[in-house]
Amino acid sequence: MPILWAILVFIPSNMAKKEEKTEGYGAEDIVVLEGLEPVRKRPGMYIGSTGPEGLHHLVWEIFDNSRDEAMGGFADHIEVALLPGNRVRVVDNGRGIPVDIHSKTKVSALETIMTTLHAGGKFEGKSYKVSGGLHGVGASVVNALSVFTEVRVHRDGVISMQEYSKGKRKAPVKKVGTTKFRGTIVTFEPDTEIFKEIDFSWNQIVSHLRQQAYLVKGLQINIIDASKYEGKLKLDDVVYMQDLGLEVPSMTFYFDGGLVSLIRFYNQHQKPVHKNICYVEKEADDVVVEVAFQYIDDISSRELAFANNTYNAEGGTHVTGFRTALTRRINDYARKNNYIKENEDNFTADDVREGLTAAISVKLREIQFEGQTKGKLGSVEARGAVEKVFGEALGVFLEENPEDGRAIVNKVILALRARKAAKAAKDSVLRKGALEGLTLPGKLADCQSNKAEDSELFIVEGDSAGGSSKQGRDRKTQAILPLKGKILNVERARLDRMLASVEIKSLVVALGVGIGDMFDISKLRYHKVIIATDADVDGAHIRTLLLTLFYRYFKQVIDGGFIYIAQPPLYKIKRGKELTYAYSEEEKNLMLGKDAGEIEIAGEGTEEEPEEIEGEEEESAKGKKREQKVSIQRYKGLGEMNPEELWETTMNPKSRILKQVTIDDAVDADKAFDVLMGEDVPARKSFIQSNAKLANIDS
């Protein structure tokens, strides 16, 4: 009490000196947000962002409620449908949300759940022993950020319905019919005031829900894309849209194998190092632990982490427990069988993780995530449980499967040797750089600015493009690094071989972030790294090789939003004295209109005599009508543009077009790089054949 009194006495005398600074600040200035207003005011606090990830997070929140019903054994079928008008519909055959009056809120339990933050059946652990949602904000947040939400509950033979807009009910819950079905149907339409661009990704939704089907054995998940369906959908009369027999894209997933099936799926285009997949499912300290893993002939690792079936992109305590047990058990096995001699060092965590594909899933009654988006598990008990359960299971697996154990240890030994060789090569490069004063590569035309946030690095193809871009750039903020030919495909190349490439070393030094265990994103010298290659097959190949390099060794640069793709024009069009540029075939045809089919395109890199087009007339100096001349030049590469053209079309921040490189789903991106840049030729051929119709052919 004396301390509190001292504070109360001290504050007035102190504030008297600052009275002029606090004038106009009183109780009336304190804003109190009621209901779901905080969600609409600060949506990023609840769904991470209002971009594509946040938009899809709405789908996951509603799906997770249905999935939690399945995890509890109350449902075995969920359907997610994309509807016309940016609407999404999620159906489950669970128990159905209660609709009776809640004792505290004096309104129905359904309305309480949908319109009140931190209201749900997952706090006491009575209705749900295990659930992905724990804060009681999922459904209400989706409701708050949607311009339209409708919930239909099939329960006790009655259909109850309530509709909402921007988190507020439009009318009380009402009975709208009878039913033999049991479950919940939620339909929502995101608010365009919150989400400036609403574009649900079919591939992203399929990928996410496929993953969920692996995690809940015996759960059937249907996905339907009726977003472009032009017919009448009488959804009030139907439960599952799959029963309508619509000719629209759809997928169905059902797996009994759990995580073992998931590992087989991700390794389907890989060469396994050992035959059997190590798998365990067991409870310890009130935590259900499920782990599966297999090594493949690769240098990268894949660890998929889940807590209560929620994907944890940033890992967490369960991943820490897994890595600790993996490193310890493999070292114990290797020493016991004399793979590691008495005077030799143990394998490191990086050694034992090379080429690993693993899935780690835990289920807890009381779960703690770091943030509402649940990207990282924070529950301390998960680490000990995973370390104990998986450690014991791995020890048994290695003893009972000696051939698999031998293959795994030999794989780790190769990783250790490669790590040491790569470290020697890296140290050699760094020592050499130190002798040279860490000078930037001679081919780099650096910018004058020392502020990374203002600086841009253009990676261009060859000396010709390098010459034009160096002359056309803004020297204050734009640096140019020309690369000669196609760089090394690093998909399966180790660090020592990679650093032997002159072109890659030049890029590494220019970026300034280091590589491997010395990587430091804070030292990035440019906050825009722009890949500017030619608009032909070779240019696309070089761009893919560079993206592979960034994804495998500089992923944080992509994650930080620092990588861009330049979009140079394909055509220069002259109509009389008017000069325009077209960046695609469609844009060119739109500019030329009816004349598109009558103009002969000048040869690549040259400009022929303009073709005369009938019907296009302009006034001459003498007042007589004359035909206007139109010419078009096709650019093959940046080197064919003069510095002024290159600046105007590709480098000028006020007029250029840049595409930012993002990773929407790291697992799918990883798989795509494996297929396209790896050694599985049949898989690559199949991918190309399946996606050939999506390609833009450069004729």
Residues catalogued as catalytic: 461, 534, 536, 538
C-beta neighbour count of 666 within 10 angstroms: 15
- Residue 273: phi and psi, rounded to 5, are -80, -35
Non-local (6+) Cβ contacts of 588 within 8 A are 570, 571, 573, 582, 596, 632
The rounded distance, in Å, linking the Cα atoms of 667 and 264 is 14
Count of residues making up the chain: 699
Q: Nearest-CA neighbor of 241 among 95, 56, 94, 89?
A: 89
Query: Taking a C-beta distance cutoff of 8 angstroms, is the pair 108, 162 a contact?
Result: yes
Query: Taking a C-beta distance cutoff of 8 angstroms, is the pair 214, 279 a contact?
Result: no
Query: Taking a C-beta distance cutoff of 8 angstroms, is the pair 80, 209 a contact?
Result: yes
Q: Nearest-CA neighbor of 627 among 642, 613, 608?
A: 613
Non-local (6+) Cβ contacts of 54 within 8 A are 43, 44, 47, 48, 195
Query: Taking a C-beta distance cutoff of 8 angstroms, is the pair 191, 167 a contact?
Result: no
Using CB atoms within 10 A of its CB, is residue 187 exposed (0-12), middle (13-18) or buried (19+)? buried
The rounded distance, in Å, linking the Cα atoms of 87 and 235 is 12
The rounded distance, in Å, linking the Cα atoms of 119 and 65 is 13
The rounded distance, in Å, linking the Cα atoms of 203 and 28 is 49
The rounded distance, in Å, linking the Cα atoms of 503 and 525 is 18
Which residue intervals of 357-488 are DSSP H helices?
380-400, 402-435, 462-472
The rounded distance, in Å, linking the Cα atoms of 500 and 432 is 13
C-beta neighbour count of 470 within 10 angstroms: 19
- Residue 152: phi and psi, rounded to 5, are -115, 120
- Residue 434: phi and psi, rounded to 5, are -65, -40
* CA torsion through residues 104, 108, 113, 115, sign: negative
Query: Taking a C-beta distance cutoff of 8 angstroms, is the pair 499, 425 a contact?
Result: yes
The rounded distance, in Å, linking the Cα atoms of 394 and 322 is 10
Residue with tokens 């290659």: 533
193, amino acid identity: E
Q: Is 613 helix (H, G, I), strand (E, B) or coil?
A: strand
Task: Report the relative pairing of strands 563-566 and 658-660 from DSSP bridges.
Answer: antiparallel
* Distance of alpha carbon 344 from the chain centroid: 41
Strand partners, 187: 89, 150
Task: Report the relative pairing of strands 528-532 and 302-307 from DSSP bridges.
Answer: unpaired
The rounded distance, in Å, linking the Cα atoms of 230 and 503 is 53
Q: How far is CA 59 from CA 240, 322, 460, 468, in A?
A: 17, 30, 40, 48
